[in-house]
Protein backbone atom coordinates (compact mmCIF):
# COMPACT_ATOMS: atom_id res chain seq x y z
CA UNK A 1 0.00 0.00 0.00
CA UNK A 2 2.14 2.85 -1.24
CA UNK A 3 0.56 6.10 -0.09
CA UNK A 4 -0.11 9.26 -2.05
CA UNK A 5 0.86 12.34 -0.08
CA UNK A 6 -1.52 15.28 -0.39
CA UNK A 7 0.25 18.53 0.28
CA UNK A 8 -1.95 21.60 0.38
CA UNK A 9 -2.54 22.38 4.01
CA UNK A 10 -0.09 24.33 6.15
CA UNK A 11 -1.62 23.37 9.48
CA UNK A 12 -2.94 20.33 11.33
CA UNK A 13 -5.69 18.38 9.58
CA UNK A 14 -9.05 18.30 11.36
CA UNK A 15 -11.35 16.15 9.20
CA UNK A 16 -11.32 14.10 6.01
CA UNK A 17 -14.39 12.99 4.06
CA UNK A 18 -14.88 10.98 0.88
CA UNK A 19 -17.86 11.54 -1.37
CA UNK A 20 -20.25 8.63 -1.92
CA UNK A 21 -18.58 7.49 -5.14
CA UNK A 22 -15.18 7.49 -3.43
CA UNK A 23 -13.51 9.56 -6.16
CA UNK A 24 -13.17 12.88 -4.30
CA UNK A 25 -11.63 13.56 -0.88
CA UNK A 26 -12.41 16.72 1.09
CA UNK A 27 -10.11 17.86 3.85
CA UNK A 28 -10.20 20.60 6.47
CA UNK A 29 -7.36 21.98 8.55
CA UNK A 30 -6.62 24.79 10.95
CA UNK A 31 -5.37 26.89 8.01
CA UNK A 32 -8.84 28.25 7.13
CA UNK A 33 -9.48 26.61 3.76
CA UNK A 34 -11.05 23.40 2.53
CA UNK A 35 -9.27 21.26 -0.08
CA UNK A 36 -10.83 18.85 -2.57
CA UNK A 37 -8.66 16.11 -4.14
CA UNK A 38 -9.02 13.34 -6.67
CA UNK A 39 -8.73 10.11 -4.67
CA UNK A 40 -7.01 8.06 -7.40
CA UNK A 41 -4.02 10.34 -8.04
CA UNK A 42 -4.03 12.95 -5.29
CA UNK A 43 -4.36 15.87 -7.69
CA UNK A 44 -5.99 18.90 -6.15
CA UNK A 45 -9.42 19.61 -7.57
CA UNK A 46 -9.89 22.89 -5.77
CA UNK A 47 -9.93 24.93 -2.60
CA UNK A 48 -12.78 26.72 -0.90
CA UNK A 49 -11.92 30.08 0.66
CA UNK A 50 -14.06 32.28 2.89
CA UNK A 51 -13.88 31.08 6.48
CA UNK A 52 -12.13 33.47 8.89
CA UNK A 53 -10.95 30.89 11.42
CA UNK A 54 -9.64 27.36 11.81
CA UNK A 55 -11.79 24.81 10.02
CA UNK A 56 -13.00 21.94 12.17
CA UNK A 57 -15.29 19.94 9.97
CA UNK A 58 -16.59 19.17 6.48
CA UNK A 59 -19.23 16.90 4.97
CA UNK A 60 -20.41 16.19 1.44
CA UNK A 61 -24.02 15.55 0.49
CA UNK A 62 -24.96 12.09 -0.92
CA UNK A 63 -25.27 13.43 -4.48
CA UNK A 64 -21.81 15.11 -4.43
CA UNK A 65 -23.31 18.50 -5.30
CA UNK A 66 -22.67 20.46 -2.10
CA UNK A 67 -20.29 20.46 0.83
CA UNK A 68 -20.91 21.97 4.25
CA UNK A 69 -18.15 23.20 6.55
CA UNK A 70 -17.90 24.42 10.13
CA UNK A 71 -15.21 26.63 11.65
CA UNK A 72 -13.88 28.63 14.58
CA UNK A 73 -15.41 31.76 13.00
CA UNK A 74 -18.81 30.59 14.38
CA UNK A 75 -20.23 29.86 10.93
CA UNK A 76 -21.42 26.95 8.86
CA UNK A 77 -20.99 27.47 5.13
CA UNK A 78 -22.55 25.65 2.23
CA UNK A 79 -20.54 25.42 -1.01
CA UNK A 80 -21.18 24.22 -4.53
CA UNK A 81 -18.48 21.60 -5.16
CA UNK A 82 -18.17 22.19 -8.91
CA UNK A 83 -17.92 26.01 -8.92
CA UNK A 84 -16.40 26.59 -5.47
CA UNK A 85 -19.12 29.17 -4.84
CA UNK A 86 -20.24 29.79 -1.24
CA UNK A 87 -24.03 29.43 -1.35
CA UNK A 88 -24.96 30.12 2.27
CA UNK A 89 -23.56 31.22 5.62
CA UNK A 90 -25.29 30.34 8.90
CA UNK A 91 -24.06 32.15 12.02
CA UNK A 92 -23.86 30.69 15.53
CA UNK A 93 -22.80 31.92 18.97
CA UNK A 94 -19.68 29.76 19.14
CA UNK A 95 -17.35 27.64 16.99
CA UNK A 96 -18.80 24.79 14.93
CA UNK A 97 -17.00 21.53 15.62
CA UNK A 98 -18.92 19.05 13.46
CA UNK A 99 -21.36 19.06 10.54
CA UNK A 100 -23.14 16.11 8.94
CA UNK A 101 -25.77 15.65 6.22
CA UNK A 102 -28.50 13.09 6.81
CA UNK A 103 -28.88 10.08 4.50
CA UNK A 104 -30.81 11.87 1.73
CA UNK A 105 -29.12 15.26 2.08
CA UNK A 106 -32.34 17.02 3.07
CA UNK A 107 -30.99 18.20 6.43
CA UNK A 108 -27.69 19.22 7.96
CA UNK A 109 -26.72 19.18 11.63
CA UNK A 110 -24.09 21.36 13.26
CA UNK A 111 -22.45 20.81 16.67
CA UNK A 112 -21.55 24.07 18.39
CA UNK A 113 -18.92 24.61 21.08
CA UNK A 114 -19.63 25.48 24.72
CA UNK A 115 -18.03 28.81 25.50
CA UNK A 116 -18.55 32.36 26.88
CA UNK A 117 -21.78 31.56 28.70
CA UNK A 118 -23.21 29.53 25.82
CA UNK A 119 -24.02 25.85 26.23
CA UNK A 120 -23.06 23.44 23.49
CA UNK A 121 -25.84 22.74 21.01
CA UNK A 122 -26.77 20.57 18.05
CA UNK A 123 -28.60 22.62 15.43
CA UNK A 124 -30.45 21.38 12.36
CA UNK A 125 -31.02 23.22 9.07
CA UNK A 126 -33.10 22.20 6.05
CA UNK A 127 -31.05 21.88 2.87
CA UNK A 128 -32.06 22.26 -0.75
CA UNK A 129 -29.65 20.22 -2.88
CA UNK A 130 -30.27 22.43 -5.91
CA UNK A 131 -27.30 24.85 -6.00
CA UNK A 132 -29.50 27.49 -7.68
CA UNK A 133 -32.10 27.37 -4.90
CA UNK A 134 -32.43 29.74 -1.96
CA UNK A 135 -31.40 28.13 1.36
CA UNK A 136 -33.46 28.78 4.47
CA UNK A 137 -32.00 30.87 7.32
CA UNK A 138 -34.03 29.01 9.89
CA UNK A 139 -32.65 26.51 12.35
CA UNK A 140 -35.46 23.98 12.40
CA UNK A 141 -34.26 22.24 15.56
CA UNK A 142 -31.93 23.14 18.44
CA UNK A 143 -30.85 20.54 20.96
CA UNK A 144 -29.11 22.07 23.98
CA UNK A 145 -26.60 19.86 25.77
CA UNK A 146 -27.19 20.76 29.42
CA UNK A 147 -25.06 18.01 30.96
CA UNK A 148 -21.94 17.73 28.84
CA UNK A 149 -21.28 19.39 25.48
CA UNK A 150 -21.46 17.27 22.34
CA UNK A 151 -18.13 16.85 20.57
CA UNK A 152 -19.47 14.86 17.60
CA UNK A 153 -22.91 13.99 16.23
CA UNK A 154 -24.58 12.32 13.28
CA UNK A 155 -27.81 10.99 11.73
CA UNK A 156 -28.94 7.38 11.99
CA UNK A 157 -30.72 5.31 9.29
CA UNK A 158 -34.05 6.83 8.18
CA UNK A 159 -32.88 10.09 9.83
CA UNK A 160 -34.72 8.64 12.81
CA UNK A 161 -32.20 9.50 15.52
CA UNK A 162 -29.51 12.08 16.05
CA UNK A 163 -26.69 10.39 17.91
CA UNK A 164 -24.14 12.50 19.78
CA UNK A 165 -20.86 11.71 21.49
CA UNK A 166 -20.02 13.93 24.46
CA UNK A 167 -17.03 15.36 26.26
CA UNK A 168 -17.81 13.21 29.34
CA UNK A 169 -17.60 9.93 27.39
CA UNK A 170 -21.35 9.41 27.09
CA UNK A 171 -23.39 8.87 23.95
CA UNK A 172 -26.90 10.31 23.51
CA UNK A 173 -29.74 9.27 21.28
CA UNK A 174 -32.23 12.01 20.33
CA UNK A 175 -35.44 11.87 18.36
CA UNK A 176 -34.33 13.60 15.16
CA UNK A 177 -37.76 15.21 14.61
CA UNK A 178 -38.48 16.57 18.09
CA UNK A 179 -35.00 16.75 19.62
CA UNK A 180 -36.19 14.85 22.69
CA UNK A 181 -33.41 12.91 24.40
CA UNK A 182 -34.33 9.23 24.33
CA UNK A 183 -31.19 7.79 25.89
CA UNK A 184 -27.81 8.77 27.33
CA UNK A 185 -25.29 6.05 28.14
CA UNK A 186 -21.78 6.05 29.57
CA UNK A 187 -19.98 4.35 26.68
CA UNK A 188 -16.37 5.42 27.22
CA UNK A 189 -14.45 6.13 30.42
CA UNK A 190 -16.02 8.99 32.43
CA UNK A 191 -14.63 12.40 31.43
CA UNK A 192 -12.72 10.96 28.49
CA UNK A 193 -13.98 12.91 25.45
CA UNK A 194 -15.40 11.12 22.45
CA UNK A 195 -13.36 12.36 19.51
CA UNK A 196 -15.07 10.80 16.51
CA UNK A 197 -18.28 9.10 15.42
CA UNK A 198 -18.56 7.47 12.01
CA UNK A 199 -21.36 5.39 10.49
CA UNK A 200 -21.70 2.04 8.82
CA UNK A 201 -22.93 2.29 5.22
CA UNK A 202 -26.56 1.77 6.24
CA UNK A 203 -26.32 3.93 9.40
CA UNK A 204 -27.67 1.19 11.68
CA UNK A 205 -24.46 1.17 13.72
CA UNK A 206 -21.48 3.43 14.25
CA UNK A 207 -17.99 3.55 15.70
CA UNK A 208 -16.77 5.99 18.33
CA UNK A 209 -13.16 6.88 19.14
CA UNK A 210 -12.09 8.22 22.53
CA UNK A 211 -9.17 9.62 24.44
CA UNK A 212 -9.64 6.58 26.73
CA UNK A 213 -7.63 4.60 24.09
CA UNK A 214 -10.58 2.57 22.86
CA UNK A 215 -12.99 2.60 19.97
CA UNK A 216 -16.45 1.06 20.25
CA UNK A 217 -18.93 -0.30 17.76
CA UNK A 218 -22.44 0.71 18.83
CA UNK A 219 -25.96 -0.24 17.79
CA UNK A 220 -27.85 2.95 16.84
CA UNK A 221 -31.21 1.47 17.91
CA UNK A 222 -30.41 0.85 21.57
CA UNK A 223 -26.84 2.19 22.06
CA UNK A 224 -25.63 -1.31 22.91
CA UNK A 225 -21.83 -1.63 22.72
CA UNK A 226 -21.32 -4.52 20.28
CA UNK A 227 -17.50 -4.43 20.07
CA UNK A 228 -14.59 -2.76 21.83
CA UNK A 229 -11.24 -2.17 20.11
CA UNK A 230 -8.42 -1.62 22.57
CA UNK A 231 -5.46 0.55 21.53
CA UNK A 232 -2.42 1.77 23.47
CA UNK A 233 -2.72 5.45 22.66
CA UNK A 234 -5.46 8.12 22.83
CA UNK A 235 -7.68 7.92 19.74
CA UNK A 236 -8.84 10.81 17.59
CA UNK A 237 -10.67 8.98 14.85
CA UNK A 238 -12.20 5.66 13.80
CA UNK A 239 -13.76 4.46 10.57
CA UNK A 240 -15.59 1.32 9.37
CA UNK A 241 -14.46 -0.24 6.09
CA UNK A 242 -17.00 -1.45 3.51
CA UNK A 243 -16.27 -4.67 1.55
CA UNK A 244 -14.03 -5.99 4.34
CA UNK A 245 -15.09 -6.35 7.97
CA UNK A 246 -12.37 -4.10 9.35
CA UNK A 247 -12.19 -0.88 11.31
CA UNK A 248 -9.35 1.66 11.14
CA UNK A 249 -8.31 3.67 14.19
CA UNK A 250 -6.10 6.76 14.29
CA UNK A 251 -4.61 8.71 17.15
CA UNK A 252 -1.35 9.19 19.00
CA UNK A 253 -0.01 11.01 21.99
CA UNK A 254 0.39 14.73 21.27
CA UNK A 255 3.85 16.31 21.44
CA UNK A 256 3.51 17.34 25.07
CA UNK A 257 2.34 13.90 26.12
CA UNK A 258 5.23 12.21 24.33
CA UNK A 259 7.93 14.12 26.16
CA UNK A 260 6.21 13.45 29.45
CA UNK A 261 5.78 9.73 28.96
CA UNK A 262 7.37 7.84 26.13
CA UNK A 263 9.77 9.92 24.06
CA UNK A 264 10.69 7.08 21.74
CA UNK A 265 7.43 6.91 19.92
CA UNK A 266 4.18 8.81 19.68
CA UNK A 267 2.64 5.77 18.02
CA UNK A 268 1.53 7.68 14.94
CA UNK A 269 0.07 4.74 13.10
CA UNK A 270 -3.25 3.80 11.55
CA UNK A 271 -4.39 0.58 13.24
CA UNK A 272 -6.48 -2.04 11.51
CA UNK A 273 -8.74 -4.31 13.59
CA UNK A 274 -11.13 -7.02 12.53
CA UNK A 275 -14.58 -5.52 13.05
CA UNK A 276 -16.24 -8.70 14.33
CA UNK A 277 -13.35 -10.42 16.16
CA UNK A 278 -11.94 -7.12 17.56
CA UNK A 279 -8.39 -8.40 17.02
CA UNK A 280 -5.65 -6.12 15.74
CA UNK A 281 -4.56 -7.08 12.22
CA UNK A 282 -1.93 -4.54 11.26
CA UNK A 283 -0.59 -0.99 11.40
CA UNK A 284 0.36 1.58 8.81
CA UNK A 285 3.07 4.08 9.65
CA UNK A 286 3.85 7.36 7.96
CA UNK A 287 2.68 10.43 9.86
CA UNK A 288 5.03 12.53 11.99
CA UNK A 289 2.32 13.48 14.45
CA UNK A 290 -0.98 12.16 15.78
CA UNK A 291 -3.59 11.07 13.26
CA UNK A 292 -6.49 13.48 13.65
CA UNK A 293 -8.84 11.94 11.11
CA UNK A 294 -9.17 8.66 9.23
CA UNK A 295 -11.73 8.09 6.48
CA UNK A 296 -12.54 5.16 4.22
CA UNK A 297 -13.66 5.29 0.60
CA UNK A 298 -17.36 4.18 0.65
CA UNK A 299 -16.64 1.92 -2.34
CA UNK A 300 -13.85 0.24 -0.36
CA UNK A 301 -10.89 0.98 -2.64
CA UNK A 302 -8.79 3.21 -0.39
CA UNK A 303 -8.50 5.01 2.91
CA UNK A 304 -7.02 8.36 3.90
CA UNK A 305 -5.53 9.71 7.10
CA UNK A 306 -4.98 13.33 8.09
CA UNK A 307 -2.32 14.22 10.60
CA UNK A 308 -1.31 16.88 13.06
CA UNK A 309 1.71 17.10 10.71
CA UNK A 310 -0.44 18.81 8.03
CA UNK A 311 -0.43 15.94 5.56
CA UNK A 312 -3.12 13.75 4.10
CA UNK A 313 -1.95 10.25 3.15
CA UNK A 314 -4.13 8.24 0.77
CA UNK A 315 -3.60 4.48 0.62
CA UNK A 316 -5.05 2.36 -2.18
CA UNK A 317 -5.83 -1.12 -0.85
CA UNK A 318 -3.88 -3.88 -2.58
CA UNK A 319 -4.63 -7.51 -3.34
CA UNK A 320 -3.27 -8.75 -0.02
CA UNK A 321 -5.77 -6.56 1.79
CA UNK A 322 -8.73 -8.00 -0.11
CA UNK A 323 -7.42 -11.58 0.09
CA UNK A 324 -6.92 -11.51 3.85
CA UNK A 325 -9.59 -13.65 5.54
CA UNK A 326 -9.96 -15.75 8.66
CA UNK A 327 -10.66 -19.45 8.37
CA UNK A 328 -14.14 -19.07 9.86
CA UNK A 329 -14.94 -16.35 7.31
CA UNK A 330 -13.92 -18.63 4.43
CA UNK A 331 -16.09 -21.40 5.87
CA UNK A 332 -19.06 -19.07 6.32
CA UNK A 333 -18.65 -17.89 2.74
CA UNK A 334 -18.43 -21.45 1.45
CA UNK A 335 -21.66 -22.25 3.27
CA UNK A 336 -23.35 -19.21 1.76
CA UNK A 337 -23.77 -17.42 5.11
CA UNK A 338 -21.86 -14.36 3.91
CA UNK B 1 1.34 -33.29 24.72
CA UNK B 2 2.37 -29.64 24.29
CA UNK B 3 1.36 -29.80 20.66
CA UNK B 4 -2.02 -31.20 21.68
CA UNK B 5 -2.52 -28.44 24.15
CA UNK B 6 -1.62 -25.87 21.47
CA UNK B 7 -4.03 -27.45 19.04
CA UNK B 8 -6.91 -27.41 21.49
CA UNK B 9 -6.17 -23.77 22.34
CA UNK B 10 -6.26 -22.97 18.63
CA UNK B 11 -9.51 -24.85 18.34
CA UNK B 12 -10.99 -22.80 21.17
CA UNK B 13 -9.94 -19.56 19.45
CA UNK B 14 -11.46 -20.69 16.16
CA UNK B 15 -14.68 -21.75 17.88
CA UNK B 16 -14.85 -18.38 19.64
CA UNK B 17 -14.45 -16.56 16.33
CA UNK B 18 -17.07 -18.75 14.74
CA UNK B 19 -19.51 -17.86 17.50
CA UNK B 20 -18.76 -14.12 17.11
CA UNK B 21 -19.24 -14.31 13.36
CA UNK B 22 -22.52 -16.25 13.66
CA UNK B 23 -23.83 -13.72 16.18
CA UNK B 24 -22.84 -10.85 13.94
CA UNK B 25 -24.38 -12.32 10.80
CA UNK B 26 -27.60 -13.11 12.67
CA UNK B 27 -27.83 -9.52 13.92
CA UNK B 28 -27.14 -8.12 10.45
CA UNK B 29 -29.89 -10.27 8.89
CA UNK B 30 -32.34 -9.16 11.56
CA UNK B 31 -31.57 -5.42 11.45
CA UNK B 32 -31.54 -5.32 7.64
CA UNK B 33 -34.99 -6.88 7.52
CA UNK B 34 -36.27 -4.56 10.23
CA UNK B 35 -35.02 -1.43 8.48
CA UNK B 36 -36.35 -2.59 5.09
CA UNK B 37 -39.80 -3.13 6.65
CA UNK B 38 -39.67 0.28 8.32
CA UNK B 39 -38.70 1.99 5.06
CA UNK B 40 -41.56 0.30 3.26
CA UNK B 41 -44.03 1.26 5.98
CA UNK B 42 -42.94 4.90 5.67
CA UNK B 43 -43.18 4.76 1.89
CA UNK B 44 -39.46 5.36 1.49
CA UNK B 45 -37.25 3.78 -1.20
CA UNK B 46 -34.85 1.06 -0.01
CA UNK B 47 -31.92 3.17 -1.15
CA UNK B 48 -32.22 6.58 0.55
CA UNK B 49 -30.73 8.46 -2.40
CA UNK B 50 -32.89 6.81 -5.06
CA UNK B 51 -34.26 9.55 -7.27
CA UNK B 52 -31.74 12.10 -5.98
CA UNK B 53 -28.93 11.21 -8.37
CA UNK B 54 -29.47 12.17 -11.98
CA UNK B 55 -29.15 9.33 -14.49
CA UNK B 56 -25.76 9.35 -16.18
CA UNK B 57 -23.82 7.00 -18.42
CA UNK B 58 -21.78 5.91 -15.42
CA UNK B 59 -24.91 4.66 -13.69
CA UNK B 60 -24.10 1.04 -14.51
CA UNK B 61 -20.72 1.31 -12.85
CA UNK B 62 -22.19 2.51 -9.62
CA UNK B 63 -21.95 0.10 -6.74
CA UNK B 64 -24.70 0.57 -4.23
CA UNK B 65 -23.99 -0.94 -0.87
Q: How far is B44 from chain A (nearest CA, A)?
A: 9
pLDDT reported for residue B8: 74
pLDDT value of residue A254: 79
Q: Which residues of B touch A105 (CB under 8 A)?
A: 49, 52
> Looking at residue B1, what is its pLDDT?
57
The domain locations on chain A are 4-335
Sheet arrangement for strand A235-240: A235-240, A246-251, A270-274, A280-284
Task: Please list the residues that pair with A123 across neighbouring strands.
Answer: A110, A142
- Does the pLDDT value for residue A88 go beyond 70? yes
Nearest to A158 among B25, B32, B39 (CB): B39
- pLDDT per residue as tens digits for the range A245-286: 999 999 998 766 555 555 445 679 999 999 999 999 999 999
State pLDDT tens for residues A132-188. 999 999 999 999 999 999 999 999 999 999 999 999 999 999 999 999 999 999 999
Q: What percent of chain A has pLDDT over 70?
A: 96
Would you tell me which residues 19-48 of chain B have a C-beta closer than 8 angstroms to some C-beta of chain A?
Answer: 20-22, 24-25, 27, 31-32, 35, 38-39, 42, 44, 48
Architecture per CATH, domain A4-335, reads as 7 Propeller (2.130)
Q: How confident is the model at residue B9 (pLDDT cuts 50, 70, 90)?
A: confident
Query: For B52, which of A104, A328, A329 is closest by C-beta distance?
Result: A104
pLDDT of residue A240: 98
Window 77-136 of A, Cβ < 8 Å to B: 103-105, 129
Comparing alpha-carbon positions, the chain B residue that sits nearest to A20 is B64
Q: How confident is the model at residue B39 (pLDDT cuts 50, 70, 90)?
A: very high
A140 close contact with B: CB closer than 8 A: no
For A190-208, b where at least 16 C-beta lie within 10 A, e where not — what string? eebbbbbbbbbebbbbbbb
Q: Is the pLDDT of residue B59 over 60?
A: no
pTM of the model: 0.93
Q: What is the mean pLDDT of residues A27-52?
A: 97
Compute the average pLDDT of residues A63-78.
Answer: 98
Amino acid sequence: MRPILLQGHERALTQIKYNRDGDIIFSTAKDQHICAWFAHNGERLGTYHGHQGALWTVDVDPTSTLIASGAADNTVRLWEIRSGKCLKVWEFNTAVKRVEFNEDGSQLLAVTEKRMGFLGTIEVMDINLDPEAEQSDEKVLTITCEESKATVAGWSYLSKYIIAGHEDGTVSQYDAKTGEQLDNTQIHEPDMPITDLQWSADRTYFITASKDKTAKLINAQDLEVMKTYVADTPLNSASITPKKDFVILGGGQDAMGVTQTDARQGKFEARFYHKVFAEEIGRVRGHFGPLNSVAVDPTGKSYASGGEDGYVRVHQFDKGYFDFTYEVERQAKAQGQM
Amino acid sequence: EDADRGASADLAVVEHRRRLLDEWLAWRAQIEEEVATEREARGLPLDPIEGLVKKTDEEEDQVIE
